[in-house]
Amino acid sequence: MRVAVGIMLDENTTKRERGLARHRAMRTLLDRIDATPHPERLWSLLREFARGRGYDRLVVVDAGKLAHGAQRTLVHANPEALGRALVEAYRVVDAAAIREALIAPEPFLVSELLADDRRANAGWIKAIAHGMRNNYVGLVVPIHDPAGEPIAAAIFTGKESDTSAIARAELYVVAHAAFNRYLVSVAEATQALGRTLSNREIDCLRLTSIGKSDEEIGETLKISARTVRFHIDAAKAKLGANNRVTAVAMALREKLIALLAAVALATTATATASSAKPAIDIFQFIC
């Protein structure tokens, strides 16, 4: 009897030690994620952690970009083949169906979806299952914003995967932490990019985005067409764009400019053109 009790105590101690070790590992990982500004490093940390739970593949998708096309949803894919399979899957089902699945409050297995008669025939689920053939297990971790709206998903796959409740909870926590840090990194990069563009460069890009010519932009801003081209060329160089169309597209995508703001600026400038005092532009003297 004493031997049995001793064995039970040893087992309980071992379980407690394992639990503490997992907790320390989780805390260390969350600190590393919080201190990592580079997205690819974030996904590398996430893959490394998931590998310890038997998942050796990872795809991260941005649900907020579902309406902009399948390829735009992919944030990270390793291996790339699985990412391509998901892109193909998105092409055979509407965004609403995917968002419906991601509303789930907790991680779920693809096999659980396949067992659900209401969803088993959904094209995207079949495509995911096909991408995970050869006995791969797929765990989908929905990522939500503070209001509970699905904003992303991390899809982990592996052959000898831990599907226990504790493993799902751990992956849920670290996936949320990594994606939230990713959003902060993107916002910081966008702000930094915005700070590199001068106000005049942004104004020129705004007016270009609504189809204004260099001459029309110059008339609106009270500068020469040549100076407009100077500002746009400077913006192109800072954004790394080959032409002005690409520069405008990048500025719109990074929210450095907005079409509505451009229209408002053009309308206001036109309405006050007759009473506005011509601005002195130093570039007119050096161009």
Average pLDDT (26-53) is 91
Which has the minimum average pLDDT: 56-70, 76-90, 151-165? 76-90
Nearest to 76 by CA among 57, 55, 61: 61
Q: What one-character-per-residue DSSP string does 72-99 give?
A: HHEEEEESHHHHHHHHHHHTTS-HHHHH
* pLDDT tops 90 at residue 269: no
Paired tokens of 133: 């053939």
**What whole-number distance in Å separates Cα of residue 96 and Cα of residue 77?**
22
Structure confidence by residue, pLDDT tens digits, 196-217: 888 899 899 999 988 899 999 9
Q: 197-272, what's its fold?
A: Arc Repressor Mutant, subunit A (1.10.10)
Helix, coil or strand: residue 151: strand
What one-letter code names the amino acid at 150? P
Q: Nearest 5 degrees, angle CA 143-CA 146-CA 151?
A: 35
Number of residues in the chain:
287
Q: What is the mean pLDDT of the chain?
A: 75
* pLDDT tops 50 at residue 261: no
Instruction: Give the bridge partners for 59, in sequence order.
Output: 77, 155
**What whole-number distance in Å separates Cα of residue 212 and Cα of residue 267?**
12
* pLDDT tops 90 at residue 72: no
Order the strands of the 57-62 sheet from edge to edge: 74-78, 57-62, 150-158, 137-144, 108-109
Q: CB under 8 Å to 208, separation ≥6 — which residues?
A: 217, 232, 244, 247, 248
For residue 85, what pLDDT is reported? 65
* pLDDT tops 50 at residue 27: yes
Nearest to 206 by CA among 157, 265, 283, 160: 265
* pLDDT tops 50 at residue 223: yes
Its CATH class, for the domain covering 22-28+36-192, is alpha beta
For residue 195, what pLDDT is reported? 66
User: What is the location of CATH 1.10.10.10 in the chain?
Assistant: 197-272
* pLDDT tops 60 at residue 272: no
- In the chain, what is the straight-line distance between the N-terminal and C-terminal CA atoms, in Å? 97
Q: pLDDT band at residue 178, thresholds of 50, 70 and 90? A: very high
Q: Nearest 5 degrees, angle CA 178-CA 136-CA 125?
A: 75
Q: CB under 8 Å to 207, separation ≥6 — which residues?
A: 216, 217, 220, 221, 262, 265, 266
**What whole-number distance in Å separates Cα of residue 113 and Cα of residue 120?**
6
126 with 113: CB under 8 angstroms?
A: no
Structure confidence by residue, pLDDT tens digits, 148-172: 888 888 989 888 899 999 899 999 9
The dihedral sign for the CA sequence 232, 243, 268, 284:
positive
User: What is the location of CATH 3.30.450.40 in the chain?
Assistant: 22-28+36-192
68 with 77: CB under 8 angstroms?
A: no
